[in-house]
Amino acid sequence: MRNVMIRDVIIGQGAPKIIVSLISSTRHNLVEEIEHMAPKQPDIWEWRLDFQESFEGNELTETLALIRELTYPTPLLVTYRTNQEGGHGCMKGAAYSELLTMTAASGFCDLVDVELFSEDSKELVHAIQQHNCKVIVSNHDFDRTPPKEELIWRLREMQLINGDIGKIAVMPKRPQDVLSLLDAAEHMKEHYADRPFIVMSMGNLGAITRLGGHHFGSAATFAAGASPSAPGQLPIELMKQLLK
């Protein structure tokens, strides 16, 4: 399996990398959020673009430049999570692709999230990578945990469209769902993975996957910043202590 190096962070090697999301809706609050979280030193920052009140005109580039300045040199991931996958974003099709491509072209971020089931996802991954930006291909299911075979298929599909990192997050309804996700991750690691991937089971029931997923192949995990961006996220201080 090849690793993914972003600045001085190597994803796929050593301890799982801890990602913290910025979810404030205004530029002023984003600055406060970063200043509060910076001393905790996440391995990767994520800006959840779909939480923004607006990004008309030059607002997107200006805010992204500010975030880059305040978080530098830590790698920065930008995500626009659509409402189909549990986020607040309503863009799709060409508008979604143009937004993500413009984000990558700005030069102010290191990774961009592309949803696996977005339109023309393979072409979008390629377009973003042309701007010297890595891609996390993701899939989220806030309603259920698909069967093991389906989870493996999705992780393999993320590789087939040439994402640099794959990511799956699912909601468990029973303990067996958590075991199915970890079993799928282990099978992926042993038989198919040629690049890093991330898996997590959400909510309180799935919290164990955020702490122990790396034993089954998961290369990174998400921790709560000022407030959680997804159900079941644990505080970064606790994550750092337990993942030493």
CA distances from 188 to 34, 35, 80, 84, 138 (A): 35, 38, 26, 25, 15
CA distances from 145 to 151, 173, 199 (A): 8, 8, 12
Query: Does some domain include residue 121?
Result: yes
Task: Indicate if the pLDDT at residue 55 is higher than 80.
Answer: no
pLDDT at 117: 97
Sign of torsion over alpha carbons 229, 82, 72, 161: positive
2 annotated binding-site participant: no
What CATH number does the domain containing 31 carry? Answer: 3.20.20.70
Within a domain: 100: yes
Q: Is residue 136 part of a domain?
A: yes
CB 227 within 8 A of CB 24: no
134 catalytic residue (yes or no): no
What range defines the domain where residue 175 resides?
15-236
* pLDDT score of 224 more than 90: no
Catalytic residue among 17, 140, 187, 214: 140
Q: Is 84 annotated as a binding residue?
A: no
Residue of 167, 187, 189, 214 marked catalytic:
167
How far the first Cα of the chain sits from its last, in Å, is: 23
Is 186 annotated in a binding site? The answer is: no
**pLDDT of amino acid 242:** 83
Number of domains in the chain: 1
Is 25 assigned to a binding site? no
pLDDT in tens, 136-180: 999 999 999 999 999 999 999 999 999 999 999 999 999 999 999
140 catalytically annotated: yes
pLDDT higher than threshold 80 for residue 63: yes
5 located within any domain: no
Q: What percent of the chain has pLDDT over 70?
A: 96
Q: What does the pLDDT average to over 99-104?
A: 96
Residue-level pLDDT at 233: 79
**Structural domain contains residue 53:** yes
Residue-level pLDDT at 231: 67
Is residue 1 included in any domain, yes or no?
no
Q: What is the length of the chain?
A: 244
Q: What is the model's pLDDT at position 230?
A: 64
Is 176 annotated in a binding site? The answer is no
